[in-house]
Amino acid sequence: MVLKAFFPTCCASADSGLLVGRWVPEQSSAVVLAVVHFPFIPIQVKELLAQVQQASQVGVTVLGTWCHRRQEPEESLGHFLEGLGAIFSHKPWFQLCRERGSKSWSCKATHWQGPASPAASGEDQVMLIFYDQRKVLLSQLHPPTALPNRQAGDTTASAGGLAAVFDTVARSEALFQSDRFDEGPVRLSHWQSEGMEASILVELAKWAAGPVCLFLACLLSLISAASACRVFKLWPLSFIWSKLSTCEQLRHRLEQLTLIFSTQKAESPAQLMRKANMLVSVLLDVALGLMLLSWLHRKDLIGQLADALIPVADHVAEELQHLLQWLMGAPAGLKMNRALDQVLGRFFLYHIHLWISYIHLMSPFIERILWHVGLSACLGLTVALSILSDIIALLTFHIYCFYVYGARLYCLKIHGLSSLWRLFRGKKWNVLRQRVDSCSYDLDQLFIGTLLFTILVFLLPTTALYYLVFTLLRLLVVAVQGLIHLLVDLINSLPLYSLGLRLCRPYRLAAGVKFRVLEHETGRPLRLLMQINPLPYSRVVHTYRLPTCGCHPKHSWGSLCRKLFFGELIYPWRQRGNKQD
């Protein structure tokens, strides 16, 4: 039977001593965590291991001996090491040996039957697997299936062979606190022996994080209390707030900031990553917003924009008027119903006239408004983009109105036509049974019904054309708004911290492991190097995506076409509806 011994690369150059780690019987593998150097007192070693076991819930024991020989093999050391097997009994007892300066290793695993019959002990083959202890300690496995809970105990942690190794190393922090250079009773060698790692900035940031978080949490709770006050719940204001995407975006950001600066510690690594991602996303947003602001102010674009806004709105209105004049004539060679055409055309023209007057009324205040709006870019690029989207919606409000009029008219006509068509065939819609039933009509009912049906059919092209034109315009505006929302969603949901971590410290996010066979000589045990296989970028984005206030269209292309055909109104951004989901 082949036993596996996971050996840390940092201990490969350590002096002789005892191997300390965990034995996993289900996988027949031993995970070596540290090496205890001579001289030591066995009682103290056992005490230390008991302490570590209590603190970390990992069954840490003495697994065997480690011998790093010089040129002349020392006979007494060999016998001494073998004698240790009697003091720290463990089945199987590992004896790893390395010649100094060479790459040849030897290892034996014996089942110690007793001092009386050493010849009866069986030997098993051992496979050495080297692992980088620091990287395995810091990394986080992302298996396709979820691991069992940490607090469940020692036995459940052995599910999933290699996950057990990662789990063991990660939970044995208590063992790595003392080092061979410390003055304690027991001198250990592990990954910290290569040099204690700490960063002053990180420590200062941790120390400062407490009061800063408290202060910001209070501030944010004040702001959210103010925004939740009763004044804003009154009907006109609440309706406006729910329609503007800016308010949605601000609310989303407020929620995220509250989560980041909450005084509760993150429970799991996933939550910590989420907080970090949110923080980086907010910081990037604000940075981009400030860049935009400085660019706008440098070229005095706000003034130019304000000056250009009124002529642009006028131009749009003029183009719409030209369009309506074209529709009122003979558009694309089609012959329209004169009377209905004139009625609809004049109605819409009067609307445009009202709109132009409204714009001219607002013109003195435009520059002020735009300047204040430009200031809001310092809250973030996403806020600026949402405001842009809202401004577009406000400026094209007349197109929206025309679309609604056209759609309602068309919808009425279609329903009327379908109902009268059923009458024409002698059928009726049964509301109770939700199906079409046959029905006997009187003669005068049939006569009037057929007459109305004919009228509606002949008026259909005109209404349909107006509906088509205004729907296309509305879809164009919706597409532009949609692109802006897509960009906002991208900035909101991209997990930049995780991507940065994957780029700079790929071992932190592990999809699995990979093995490499090291130089092998016959007669020597097989040596493998276990390295961490990092998570691919697509899986990083998929796993750590931030939830957005994503108003994704709820319907598919098929249902959209169906709604367009029947003249039902389409609402691409269900902002209010999302909150209730």
Closest separation in Å from C-beta 250 to other proteins? 41
Q: Which is nearer to other proteins, 9 or 224 (CB)?
A: 9
185 closest CA partner among 21, 34, 19, 39:
39
Chain centre distance of CA 523: 51
Provide, rounded to whole angstroms, the least separation between the CB of residue 155 and other proteins. Answer: 16
Residue of 148, 108, 113 whose CA lies nearest to 128: 108
| CA–CA dist 345, 299 (Å, integer) | 42
Give yes or no for a contact between 148 and 156, defined as CB atoms under 8 angstroms apart. Answer: yes
Token pair, residue 533, equals: 């296989």
Q: How far apart are CA 243 and CA 240, in angstroms?
A: 5
Query: Which of 23, 241 has the CB closer to other proteins?
Result: 23
List C-alpha distances in Å: 161 to 4, 262, 356, 374, 525. 11, 37, 73, 57, 21
Minimal distance in Å, beta carbon 29 to other proteins? 9
Beta carbons within 8 Å of 342's beta carbon, 6+ residues apart: 328
Q: Beta strand pairing status for 123-131 and 140-141?
A: unpaired
Q: Is the alpha carbon torsion for 108, 109, 114, 118 positive or negative? A: negative
Q: Which residue lies nearer to other proteins by CB, 356 or 532?
A: 532
> Per CB under 8 A, does 347 bind other proteins?
no
CB of 65 to other proteins, least distance (A): 24
Nearer to other proteins, 28 or 61 (CB): 28
**Of the residues 4, 187, 413, 422, which one makes contact with other proteins according to CB under 8 A:** 4
Q: Which is nearer to other proteins, 157 or 513 (CB)?
A: 513
Residues 6-65 that bind other proteins (CB under 8 A): 28
Nearest distance from C-beta of residue 144 to other proteins, angstroms:
10
Q: Name residue, tokens 């009386």.
A: 116
Taking CB under 8 A as the rule, does residue 502 contact other proteins?
no
The helix (H) or strand (E) run that includes residue 2 is strand 2-8
Tell me how far, at minimum, the Cβ of 67 lies from other proteins, in Å.
23
Name which of 361 and 517 has its Cβ closer to other proteins: 517
CA distances from 330 to 33, 324, 335, 449, 487 (A): 87, 11, 6, 30, 41
The answer to whether 2 contacts other proteins (rule: CB under 8 A) is yes
Count of H-run helices and E-run strands, the chain: 18, 13
* Closest to other proteins by CB, 323 or 526: 526
Beta-ladder partners of 533: 512
Position among 9, 61, 337, 533 found at the interface with other proteins (CB under 8 A): 533
Q: Does 537 bind other proteins (CB under 8 A)?
A: no
Q: Which is nearer to other proteins, 181 or 515 (CB)?
A: 515
Of 1, 198, 225, 228, the residue at the interface with other proteins (CB under 8 A) is 1
CB contact at 8 A, 128 and 516: no
Q: Considering the rule CB under 8 A, would residue 127 count as an interface residue with other proteins?
A: yes
Count of residues of this chain found to bind other proteins when the rule CB under 8 A is applied? 20
Q: If DSSP codes are grouped into helix, strand and coil, which group holds residue 545?
A: coil
**Half-sphere exposure in the Cβ direction for 494 (13 Å, CA):** 17
The number of beta carbons lying within 10 Å of the beta carbon of residue 348 is: 23
Q: Which stretch binds other proteins (CB under 8 A): 232-240, 482-490, 507-515, 557-565?
A: 507-515
CA distance 89 to 159: 26
Of 372 and 514, nearer to other proteins (C-beta) is: 514
Q: Per-residue x/- mask for other proteins, residues 294 to 333, rule CB under 8 A? A: ----------------------------------------
Closest to other proteins by CB, 4 vs 22, is: 4
In angstroms, give the least distance from the CB of 161 to other proteins: 5
Closest distance between other proteins and the C-beta of residue 502, in Å? 15
User: Closer to other proteins at the Cβ: 158 or 246?
Assistant: 158
Q: Is the dihedral of CA 161, 167, 170, 173 positive or negative?
A: negative
431 touches other proteins by CB under 8 A: no
- Which lies closer to other proteins via its Cβ, residue 127 or residue 499? 127
Of 81-89, 91-99, 124-132, 551-559: span binding other proteins (CB under 8 A): 124-132
By the rule CB under 8 A, 510 interacts with other proteins: no
CB within 8 A of 289, min separation 6: which ones? Answer: 377, 378, 379, 380, 381, 382, 383, 384
C-alpha span between 488 and 386 (Å, rounded): 8
Interface residues for other proteins in 512-531 (CB under 8 A)? 512-515, 517, 520, 526, 528
Window contacting other proteins (CB under 8 A); options: 122-130, 192-200, 259-267, 425-433: 122-130
First to last CA, the chain: 57
Type and span of the H or E element at 530: strand 527-534
- Compare residues 84 and 528 and give the one whose CB is closer to other proteins: 528
145 binds other proteins (CB under 8 A): yes
Report 154-183 residues binding other proteins (CB under 8 A).
Answer: 160-162
H helices of 439-536, where? 443-493, 496-504
Between helices 381-395 and 397-425, what is the axis angle to 10°?
A: 60
Give the residues lining the site for other proteins (CB under 8 A).
1-2, 4, 28, 125, 127, 129, 145, 160-162, 512-515, 517, 520, 526, 528, 533
